[in-house]
Amino acid sequence: MEPVDPHTLSARLKDRARSIGFEVAGVACPDASEHGGFYRAWLAEGRHGAMGYLADDSAVSRREDLSLTLESVRSVLVVGHEYHQVDPEGVPEDPSLGVVARYARGRDYHRVVKRKLRQLHRWLEEETGRSVDARAYVDTGPILERELAARAGIGWFGKNTMLIHPRRGSYFFLAVLLLDLPLTPDAPFEEDRCGTCRRCLDACPTGALLGRDEDGAPVMEARRCISYLTIENRGPIPRELRPLMGNRVYGCDICQEVCPFNVRFAEEAAEPGYAARGPGERPVGVEAAGPAGAGGRGPEESGSEASGPAGPGSESVGTGGALAKGGASAETSRHNERVREGGRMSDGRRDPHPGTDGPSLVELLRMALSEAGWEAFSRGSAIRRAGRAGFARNVCVAMGNWLAGEPEPPAEPVEVLVEALSDPEPLVRGHAAWALGRAATDEARFQLSAFASTEEHAWVRKELVLAAGE
């Protein structure tokens, strides 16, 4: 086979990437990072919070030098996959409804994007007629994806720290394919188009965005970011930040929602797997859980692949279904074989979970207090990253913020929060106590005092006592 020249191969590879669903694609040189110094200074200031994996010496070095990950690397393909979803009616304005970040409303993106990267790898080997040494990363390895994306001409670093495309905004996942092939790189994107705009800085409710440093790099205090607090943070949410989080129960899109480039250009994602789920629905492409036999596996585990740190549990990743063939499926049609009203199925039974499309906080907490409910809700979803206790913690905080604004708090949320005071996890009990204190009803105070008299965990007991006095 005749060798393909780097310029032609680069153009055809980007065309191929777009043809299989990536909305943006570019090629970058694998030169040493120019942001290594800033990154190390950011770590030294402790702004990464409890995300210790970001500060691992080996990982830091690999972020600065791609050859430590793939010794033979000669070029980098950077792609973007859009995930924007339109908020349902009442979200985020209705404080009784939970807001899930758009990227996590459907299927775990690691699964979706990784498979497409593997398709590109196979195509390259067929196109070049040789084995291609490659490494694929979807937000899971020590890679500075946004720097590489800027080098590949895709966009610039916004003041919200996101990579912004000038005609598409920032609602897309970035992924990279390190390659041992020589490809012609794209011209880097060097212009800062944020200008004097500071909408994201002013909109962040917790003050996590600190603007640009003296070198122009955007700075985030991760320990104040709602996404960090609701996902990566494994412990209690600081009391002073809880009232600022509103009804965001997993992640946060506020700094993207106000960005003029998203307001003007963002479109709903074409990928069906990213669609929000209704009550009881599984993410598109994830099979129903099978019976767990002795030593056996349910059907969702067959052909499962490992995902990165934010990956879910076992799920189907086979390629023989309707999705792989580009056709519609029962999943894509949003499971419309059942009629639901008020979170119940047509036979009157309660759905196993309330979904991700503006779900009721009450139903979310009921679900999160049940291992079976959490399993049904989080399987095949990036939401599993938070863990059951962490997610229940988040919902408790959102419920506390809702109840604090109610002159006469409804009985139902108070009842489920009282139930949460008996959860086996201290993390859940402590935040449920805080939420009940925000309700400030006679019933809430009575329950808080009663549980405080028997609670053995010191931190939870402190939360109970503080809440009872509020």
CATH number, domain with residue 454? 1.25.10.10
Average pLDDT over residues 30-58: 91
Q: What residue type is 193 in one-letter code?
A: R
pLDDT at residue 420, as a whole number? 98
Reported as type and span, the H/E element at residue 163 is strand 163-164
pLDDT at residue 351, as a whole number? 67
For the CA atoms of 351, 354, 355, 358, what is the dihedral angle to 10 degrees? 150
β-sheet bridge partners, residue 63: none
Reported as type and span, the H/E element at residue 249 is strand 248-250
pLDDT at residue 435, as a whole number? 98
| Joined tokens for residue 109 | 């993106």
* Cβ(226)–Cβ(206) below 8 Å: yes
In a domain, 127, yes or no: yes
Residue where a domain stops, chosen among 128, 151, 179: 179
Q: How confident is the model at residue 271 (pLDDT cuts 50, 70, 90)?
A: very high
Residue 334 has pLDDT above 70, yes or no: no
| Joined tokens for residue 346 | 């047509």
Q: Rounded distance, CA 127 to CA 206, Å? A: 50
Residue 347 has pLDDT above 80, yes or no: no
pLDDT at residue 330, as a whole number? 38
In a domain, 282, yes or no: no
Average pLDDT, the chain: 88
Please enumerate, as own/partner, the contacts of 226-233 that have beta carbons within 8 Å and a separation of 24 or more. 226/251, 226/252, 226/254, 227/101, 227/251, 227/252, 228/49, 228/51, 230/386, 230/390, 230/394, 231/310, 231/385, 231/386, 231/390, 232/49, 232/50, 232/51, 233/49, 233/50, 233/390
Question: One of 139, 253, 351, 423 is an active-site residue; which one?
Answer: 139
In a domain, 453, yes or no: yes
β-sheet bridge partners, residue 25: 79
pLDDT at residue 349, as a whole number? 53
Q: How confident is the model at residue 341 (pLDDT cuts 50, 70, 90)?
A: very low
Report the 10 Å Cβ neighbour count for 400: 25
In a domain, 461, yes or no: yes
Say which DSSP state 349 is in: P
Residue 48 has pLDDT above 80, yes or no: yes
Q: Rounded distance, CA 251 to CA 183, Å? A: 36
* Cβ(422)–Cβ(397) below 8 Å: no
Average pLDDT over residues 404-416: 96
Cα-only R_g, the chain: 23
Residue where a domain stops, chosen among 119, 150, 179: 179
By CB atoms closer than 10 A (0-12, 13-18, 19+), residue 196 is exposed
pLDDT at residue 146, as a whole number? 96
In a domain, 252, yes or no: no
pLDDT digits 0-9 by tens, 287-332: 877 544 333 333 333 233 333 333 322 222 222 222 222 333 333 3
In a domain, 113, yes or no: yes
Average pLDDT over residues 175-195: 97
pLDDT digits 0-9 by tens, 10-34: 999 999 999 999 999 999 999 999 9
Average pLDDT over residues 188-204: 97
Whole-prediction pTM? 0.87
Lowest-confidence range among 194-208, 307-321, 333-347?
A: 307-321
pLDDT digits 0-9 by tens, 417-431: 999 999 999 999 999
Q: How confident is the model at residue 285 (pLDDT cuts 50, 70, 90)?
A: confident
Q: Rounded distance, CA 360 to CA 346, Å? A: 19
In a domain, 91, yes or no: no
Residue partners of 124: CB distance under 8 A and separation at least 6: 13, 132, 134, 179, 181
186 classed as catalytic = no
Residue where a domain stops, chosen among 158, 179, 200: 179
pLDDT at residue 2, as a whole number? 67
pLDDT top residue among 457 and 306: 457
Residue 60 has pLDDT above 70, yes or no: yes
Report the 10 Å Cβ neighbour count for 375: 16
Beta strands 156-157 and 134-137 are unpaired
| Sheet architecture: strand order including 75-82 | 24-28, 75-82, 172-179, 134-137
Q: What residue type is 362 in one-letter code?
A: V
157: left (phi > 0), else alpha (psi -120 to 50), else beta? Answer: beta
Average pLDDT over residues 132-148: 95
In the chain, the percentage of residues whose pLDDT exceeds 90 is: 79
pLDDT at residue 306, as a whole number? 31
In a domain, 250, yes or no: no
Domain limits at 38? 6-83+107-179
In the chain, the number of structural domains is: 2
Sign of the Cα torsion 267, 269, 275, 276 reads negative
pLDDT at residue 305, as a whole number? 33
